[in-house]
Chain A
Amino acid sequence: MTETISTTRTGGATAEPSHGEPVMVQLLTPAGERTPDPEHDPLVAALDAEALRERYRAMTLARRLDIEATSLQRQGELALYASSRGQEAAQIGAARGLRPQDHVFPTYREHALAMSRGVAPLDLLRLYRGTSHGGWDAAETNTHGYTLVIGAQTLHATGYAMGVQRDGTVGTGDDDVDTAVVACLGDGATSQGEVNEAMTWAAVFKAPVVFLCQNNQWAISEPNTRQFAAPLTERAAGVGLPSVRVDGNDVIAVEAVVRAAADRARSGGGPTFVEAWTYRVSAHTTSDDTTRYRESDDDALWAPLDPLVRLEAHLRALHAAGSGEDQDVDAFLADVAAEADVLGEALRGDVRDLPDPEPASMFDHVYADRHPLVDEERAWMQDWNAEGDQP
């Protein structure tokens, strides 16, 4: 089934590559069949049926977040939403390939990854409701805030990794100490100068970075062909980064590949570029309209490649083979669906209950130390608003 996801015909990126396409790591076919891979199998040897059900559950909850958030935007409760639908395997697999002490610098579409790292779903929506430019404390999950300027966070991740090097928390051999840093990015971001600078810096300084590029085929309306004329893995090789393309809709393969890359980073082996080959099922954001630029058969092409579809098929096969859990797969799916319903219901209430911040709070945290202009203007606003409150 690998040829179904042939890299020469993906989404709108229909041009024949002028260079040889890289081999794509795939451990679970779209039909849900586990394919042997001596190099990567040891990295996911612990993924028994229970662990795979946990990943299915995580992907399902993330998808429910996308569905609920999109609905909330349509109801006017969110200003905007950027769905991660279709990219659940790339993100959950990546999260599971990391350790708690690892740091993640996400884009604005890393909902599944962030949830999987422990960020509360409600916190992910504060930005989109317009009550916060951030939403959560990065120190609690080592998952940093969303970055909206495309690619800017890749330099922060690289700098953070240079700090890890100076802290001496790389290459000690202690699994609980050595730290990898993940720089998330998309296919469009690879055209940014800053991303190429980050890759160069990470390679030059051998910083413990994993560049996790989710190639979802589309940068708003522009396909891969408008972003690069050679495979991204070649780009990585050009700056001295080992690279790998992985089937981003295969949660097992992504976990294996990211685990290998993170292990390498933590051991002092330096950075790796991972291209997770996936598909943005939804529009870029709720403000976007894919009918203006995307062919309907793109969706049809990718629908059978859906990460949840193939994992469900695999879970059924495992159960049928007697190597799975006692619980029937349908009963498990019903449990997960019920849990997703609970999440959805809670979000519908909690998002509406998110309070607007105090207006004068916009003056808080502009600076660490006092700043006379900020103080002056805060006082002005408070006076102005106080006068407005008077009869």
Chain B
Amino acid sequence: MNTTTLTAPAQAPASSHLTAARERGPHAPTPGGRAAEAVRPTTLTMAAALNAGLRRAMDHDDKVLLMGEDIGALGGVFRVTDGLQRDFGEQRVVDTPLSEAGIVGTATGLAMAGYRPVCEIQFDGFIFPAFNQIVTQLAKMRSRTSGATSLPVVVRVPFGGGIGAVEHHSESPEALFSHVPGLRVVSPASPQDAYWMIQQAITSDDPVMVFEPKRRYWDRGPVELAGRDRGRVRALDEAPPLHSARVVAAGSDVTVLAYGPTVRVALDAAVTARAEGTSVEVVDLRSMSPLDLPTIEASVRRTGRCVVVHEAPTFLGLGAELAARITESCFHHLEAPVLRVGGFAVPYPVARVEEHYLPDADRVLDAVDRALAY
């Protein structure tokens, strides 16, 4: 059951010419600042797909602003906003003071003034100075004003571990925000989803937290870029709904629920399990709030067994809610208790031992085996 080698990312044919370069204009850079302008790749890293999605959203709506630390000339520490300040100017791509509460608090004010700010929090562990603004203000302002105030604010959060980082750079705080009414919480697992979901989040009139799996930023995958007046490309409203889950690997014996960085882990486990004669269905949740329960429940009713995987500590993590929900709604279909595979109840560990903390395919397969043994 050695699954430490990750599945090679899919590569799209280099000859394809479907990109957003033409709609961006002749001088716009290729998303992510890579390759030559003449080339229009359909294979992008997640970072480049996010960049393309942000660019398209800014092209379509002048009210869309980007705000964050080092997102301008530097292009963000992960280069997700590379080239955008050059093309859209300092009024729309704002290098902010080093002040997370300020970023979210002023974004809230900008939203009240009719703008659609997209905030970048540099790392998961640095979101807490903004926690007050997100929880007490951003999430509650619509309700407080009886619906008079829309808060179309996106908060982008590179999250999760596995990059060998120092403290505060590898955390998974998504459950903290999923617990807060008024927020929407999503996490893309692929470049294609990143491209669609960032745009959908921006068009939402509700605050949306987008947890971006930072160790997947450089994974490449096929991306169908939207374009205007092109028959063969999809418009934004043809993309899967922002809050829909998706079966990314069909199976019949056990359902594995994952999101963000652990979708790949679950898929790797499914490949190994299949070789051993076990059919694992992998569901990419994509959205943590709201949960797409119909899709989740349909899968669990088919398989009768469920394992939830996330990097965040299992205690009171998303898996706890999912286990409770599935037990209530699928009780008579379950052949085994819902099992959880996640991080431990410890501060995120030092990089040299983080592989022992992060759920890997072996731990997922162990849970699959335990579910099957009931």
Q: Does A162 lie within 8 Å of B106, measured CB to CB? A: yes
Chain A contacts with B in 318-337, Cβ cutoff 8 A: none
A288 contacts B by Cβ under 8 Å: no
For A138, give its contact among B65, B149, B150 (CB under 8 Å): B149
Do residues A149 and B113 form an inter-chain contact, with CB atoms below 8 A? no
CB-CB under 8 A from B110, the residues of chain A are 159-160, 162-163
Q: Which residues in B have their C-beta under 8 angstroms from that of A373?
A: 289-291
Closest Cβ neighbor of B114 among chain A residues: A163
Pairwise interchain contact A200-B137, C-beta atoms closer than 8 A: no
Q: Are B101 and A156 in contact (CB under 8 A)?
A: no
Stretch at the interface among B47-55, B138-146, B304-312, B337-345: B138-146
| Docked complex Cα distance between A154 and B102 (Å) | 10
Q: Is the CB of A372 within 8 A of B290?
A: yes
A158 on the B face (CB < 8 A): yes
Asked if A130 lies at the interface with its beta carbon under 8 angstroms from chain B, I say: no
Flag whether B182 is at the interface (Cβ < 8 A).
yes
Check A134 for interface membership: any CB of B closer than 8 A: yes
Does A204 have its Cβ within 8 Å of any Cβ on chain B? Answer: yes
**Nearest A-chain residue to B144, judged by Cβ:** A133
Q: Which residues of B contact A161 (CB under 8 A)?
A: 109
Q: Tell whether, in the assembled complex, residue A365 and residue B105 are in contact, meaning their CB atoms are under 8 Å apart.
A: no
Instruction: Give bound CA distance, A369 to B183, whole Å.
Output: 11
Within the assembled complex, what's the spacing in Å between the Cα atoms of A358 and B133?
A: 28
Interface assignment of B204: CB less than 8 Å from any CB of chain A: yes
B240 within 8 A of A: no
- Given the interface pairs A149-B136, A200-B97, the reply to whether A365 lies near B106 with Cβ below 8 Å is no
Q: Does B362 sit within 8 A of A, measured CB to CB?
A: no
Contacts A159-B107, A193-B101, A197-B101 aside, 17 further interface pairs with beta carbons under 8 A come to A134-B146, A155-B104, A162-B106, A162-B109, A162-B110, A163-B115, A166-B65, A194-B105, A197-B102, A201-B97, A201-B102, A204-B97, A366-B182, A368-B205, A369-B205, A371-B184, A373-B291
The verdict on B2 contacting chain A, using a C-beta distance below 8 Å, is no
Interface-centre pick from B107, B113, B290 (highest chain A CB count, 10 A): B113
How far is it, in angstroms, between the C-alpha of A147 and the C-alpha of B204 when the chains are bound? 25
Closest to A364 in B: B147
**Complex Cα gap A366–B149 (Å):** 11
Asked if B314 CB lies within 8 Å of chain A CBs, one says no
Q: Which of B146-167 contact A (CB under 8 A)?
A: 146-150
Contacts of A144 in B (CB 8 A): 112
- State in angstroms the CA–CA spacing of A374 and B105 once bound together: 26
What is the minimal beta-carbon distance from B206 to any residue of chain A, in angstroms?
5
Instruction: Determine if A159 and B136 form an interchain contact, defined as CB atoms under 8 angstroms apart.
Output: no
Residue from B107, B145, B150, B293 with most neighbouring chain A CB atoms (10 Å) = B145
B112 touching A372, Cβ below 8 Å: no
Residues of B within 8 A of A365 (CB): 142-143, 145-147
B107 to chain A: which residues have CB within 8 Å? 159
Residue-wise, chain B 108-145 has the 8 Å CB interface mask toward A (1 for contact) of: 11111111010000000000010011001100101111
Contact B101 A160 (CB under 8 A): no
Q: Does B91 lie at the interface of the complex (its beta carbon under 8 Å from any beta carbon of A)?
A: yes
Instruction: Answer whether A201 and B293 are a contact pair too, CB < 8 Å, given A155-B108, A162-B109.
Output: no
A167 at interface by CB-CB < 8 Å: yes
Question: Of A164, A197, A367, which one neighbours B182 at CB under 8 angstroms?
Answer: A367
Q: Which residues of A contact B146 (CB under 8 A)?
A: 132, 134, 364-365
CB-CB under 8 A for A134 and B144, given A152-B132, A368-B204, A372-B290: yes
B97: chain A residues at CB < 8 Å are 197, 200-201, 204
Q: Which of B193-228 contact A (CB under 8 A)?
A: 204-206
For the complex, is B99 an interface residue (Cβ under 8 Å from A)? Answer: yes
Question: Is A155 a contact partner of B133 (Cβ separation < 8 A)?
Answer: yes
Q: Are A369 and B108 in contact (CB under 8 A)?
A: no
Q: Distance in Å from the Cβ of A115 to the closest Cβ of chain B?
A: 19
Residues of A with C-beta under 8 A to B113: 159-160, 162-164, 167
Query: Chain B residues with Cβ under 8 A from A154's Cβ?
Result: 105
14 contacts between A and B (CB under 8 A): A105-B109, A138-B145, A149-B137, A155-B108, A156-B112, A157-B109, A194-B101, A197-B97, A201-B106, A364-B143, A365-B146, A366-B142, A369-B205, A372-B290
For residue A174, CB closer than 8 A to chain B, the reply is no
Query: How far is A106 from B63 in the complex, measured between Cα atoms in Å?
Result: 26
Number of B interface residues in the complex (CB < 8 A)? 45
Q: Which residues of B contact A (CB under 8 A)?
A: 65, 91, 96-97, 99, 101-102, 104-115, 117, 129, 132-133, 136-137, 140, 142-150, 181-182, 184, 204-206, 289-291, 293
Contacts of A374 in B (CB 8 A): 181
Shortest Cβ gap from A13 to chain B (Å): 27
Chain B nearest Cβ from A114, distance in angstroms:
15
Interface residues, chain A, with chain B CB atoms under 8 Å away: 105, 132-134, 137-139, 144-145, 147, 149, 152, 154-167, 193-194, 197-198, 200-201, 204, 364-369, 371-374
Interchain CB contact under 8 A, B109 and A158: yes
Give B62's nearest chain A residue, CB to CB.
Answer: A166
Closest 8 A-B residue pairs measured CB to CB? A159-B109, A155-B105, A163-B113, A159-B106, A368-B205, A365-B147, A156-B109, A197-B102
Query: Chain A nearest CB: distance from B367 CB in Å?
Result: 26
- Contact among A145, A166, A198, A204 for B105, CB-based, below 8 A: A198
- With the chains together, A371 CA to B185 CA distance in Å? 12
Knowing A159-B112, A163-B110 touch, does A200 contact B102 (C-beta < 8 A)? yes
Are A134 and B106 neighbours in the complex by a CB distance under 8 Å? no
Q: A147 to B144, alpha carbons, bound, how many Å? A: 10
Please measure, in the bound complex, the distance between the C-alpha atom of A164 and the C-alpha atom of B117, giving whole angstroms: 14
Residues in chain B near residue A367, CB distance under 8 A: 142, 182, 184, 206
Query: In the complex, what residue of chain A is closest to B204 when comparing beta carbons?
Result: A369
The smallest C-beta distance from B207 to any residue of chain A, in angstroms, reads 9
Closest to B145 in A: A134
CA distance A145 to B112 in the complex (A): 12
Residue of B nearest to A155 (CB): B105
CA distance A176 to B137 in the complex (A): 30
Least Cβ–Cβ distance between B288 and chain A, in angstroms:
12
Please determine whether B145 and A145 come into contact, CB atoms closer than 8 angstroms: yes
Interface residue from B129, B143, B148, B206 paired with A193 (Cβ < 8 Å): B129
Query: How far is it, in angstroms, between the C-alpha of A367 and the C-alpha of B115 when the chains are bound?
Result: 18
Report whether B143 and A133 are in contact in the complex, using a CB–CB cutoff of 8 Å.
yes
A2 and B138 alpha carbons, distance in the complex (Å):
44
Known: A149-B136, A365-B147. A194 touches B102 (CB 8 A): yes
Is the CB–CB distance between B91 and A197 below 8 Å?
A: no
Bound-complex Cα distance A368 to B111 (A): 14
Chain B contacts for A160, CB-based, 8 A = 109-110, 112-113
Minimum distance in angstroms from B72 CB to a CB of chain A: 14
A41 to chain B, nearest CB (A): 34
Distance to closest chain A CB from B310 (angstroms): 19
Given A138-B148, A145-B145, A366-B181; A156-B132 close (CB under 8 Å): no
Q: Which residue of A lies closest to B325 (CB)?
A: A373
Q: How far is B293's CA from A364's CA once the two chains are assembled, in angstroms? A: 22
Could you tell me the distance between the alpha carbons of A340 and B300 in the complex, rounded to whole angstroms?
67
* Chain B residue contacts of A157, Cβ below 8 A: 109
